[in-house]
């Protein structure tokens, strides 16, 4: 699986959009970009995934650059409950393995 | 939907004893379940993959005789840590998948905190 690079931490203000970057410059054509998050002392939670088109669901939006070498997860209106470690993972769709890196610790402040 | 539970949520045991952790998919049948371990301030590490009715597949470096995994039904997988030692103290998390087409959307349990004294 391609490696990903994420900033170790970031702060954002409650009510504002949080933009989480992820670099995956060695991504292959058949690899998807997945985002999970882990709130302290809980199991990870699936957020969203995409191949090359931008995706949106009730939790977030995923913007993938045209060359697919990077992506951004957008939490449109961050709340205190969005404070968590966010993991960007690239993998082939039918490969069960999820390789969790260090992720980005996001702290939402009031 | 797609809720996964774990029991117990935390457990303290003495060195040398065994402890069993249960992982259940509450509202779906999980063809495949996964077990992860997470040490403090570290990321999740996949330990093993279990398919209902067959032997688990362990990741490199994980002792299969120490971490016994049983996946007896489509809704239950168990992890038994045998002869536990303090270094086995960790956060154990299971996840379940609906099947090949949804492996990316693994549904995680809340985790079990194991402390070995």
Q: Is A13 part of the contact surface with chain B (CB cutoff 8 Å)?
A: no
* B104 in Cβ contact with B1 (< 8 Å): no
Number of H helices, E strands in chain B: 0, 11
Report CB contact under 8 Å: A99, B46: yes
> Mapping DSSP to helix (H, G, I), strand (E, B) and coil, where does residue B32 land?
strand
H-run or E-run covering A95: none
> Mapping DSSP to helix (H, G, I), strand (E, B) and coil, where does residue A14 land?
coil
Q: How far apart are CA A60 and CA B1, in angstroms?
A: 19
Q: Is A34 part of the contact surface with chain B (CB cutoff 8 Å)?
A: yes
Q: B1 pLDDT exceeds 90?
A: no
Question: Which of A9, A31, A43 is the best substitution to test chain B (most B C-beta atoms within 10 A)?
Answer: A43
The pLDDT confidence band at residue B47, using thresholds 50, 70 and 90, is: very high
Q: Is A56 part of the contact surface with chain B (CB cutoff 8 Å)?
A: no
> Mapping DSSP to helix (H, G, I), strand (E, B) and coil, where does residue B103 land?
coil
pLDDT the model gives residue B75: 92
| Nearest CA-CA partner of B92 in B38, B47, B32 | B38
Q: B113 pLDDT exceeds 80?
A: yes
Q: Residue A41: left if φ>0, alpha if ψ -120 to 50, beta else—which one?
A: left
Q: pLDDT, tens digit, for every residue of B4-29?
A: 999 999 999 999 999 999 999 998 88
- A39 to chain B: nearest residue by CA? B110
Q: How far apart are CA B117 and CA A57, in angstroms?
A: 44
Q: B104 pLDDT exceeds 80?
A: no
Please report residues of A whose CB lies closer than 8 A to that of B107: 46
Q: Please, what is the average pLDDT of chain B?
A: 91
Q: Is A96 part of the contact surface with chain B (CB cutoff 8 Å)?
A: yes
Residue B76 structure tokens: 């239950």
Q: Is A102 part of the contact surface with chain B (CB cutoff 8 Å)?
A: yes
Strand pairing partners for A88?
A35
Average pLDDT, 10 consecutive residues per value, chain A (110 residues): 88 97 94 94 92 94 97 97 96 80 96
The pLDDT confidence band at residue B31, using thresholds 50, 70 and 90, is: confident
CB nearest to A96's CB, from B49, B91, B94: B49
pLDDT the model gives residue B23: 96
Q: Is A32 part of the contact surface with chain B (CB cutoff 8 Å)?
A: yes
Q: pLDDT, tens digit, for every residue of B78-102?
A: 999 999 999 999 999 999 987 655 5
Q: B56 pLDDT exceeds 70?
A: yes
Question: Which of B25, B36, B43, B90 is the best substitution to test chain A (most A C-beta atoms within 10 A)?
Answer: B43
């Amino acid at each position: 699986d391609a490696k990903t690079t994420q900033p170790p931490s970031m702060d954002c203000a409650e009510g504002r959009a949080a933009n989480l970057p992820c670099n995956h410059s060695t991504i292959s054509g058949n690899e998807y970009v997945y985002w999970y998050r882990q709130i302290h002392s809980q199991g990870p939670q699936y957020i969203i995934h995409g191949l090359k088109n931008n995706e949106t669901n009730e939790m977030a939006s995923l913007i993938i650059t045209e060359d697919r070498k990077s992506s951004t997860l957008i939490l449109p209106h961050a709340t205190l409950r969005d404070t968590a470690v966010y993991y960007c993972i690239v993998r082939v769709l039918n490969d069960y393995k999820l390789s969790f890196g260090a992720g980005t610790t996001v702290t939402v402040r009031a | 939907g797609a809720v996964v539970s774990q029991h117990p949520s935390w457990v303290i045991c003495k060195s040398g004893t065994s402890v069993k952790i249960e992982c259940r998919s509450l509202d779906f049948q999980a063809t495949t379940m996964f077990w992860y371990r997470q040490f403090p301030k570290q990321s999740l590490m996949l330990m093993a993959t279990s398919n209902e009715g067959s032997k688990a597949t362990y990741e490199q470096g994980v002792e299969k005789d120490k971490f016994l995994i049983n996946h007896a039904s489509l809704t239950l997988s168990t992890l038994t840590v045998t002869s536990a030692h303090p270094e086995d103290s960790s956060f154990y998390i299971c996840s379940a998948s609906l099947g090949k087409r949804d492996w990316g959307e693994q549904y995680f349990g809340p985790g079990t905190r194991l402390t070995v004294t």
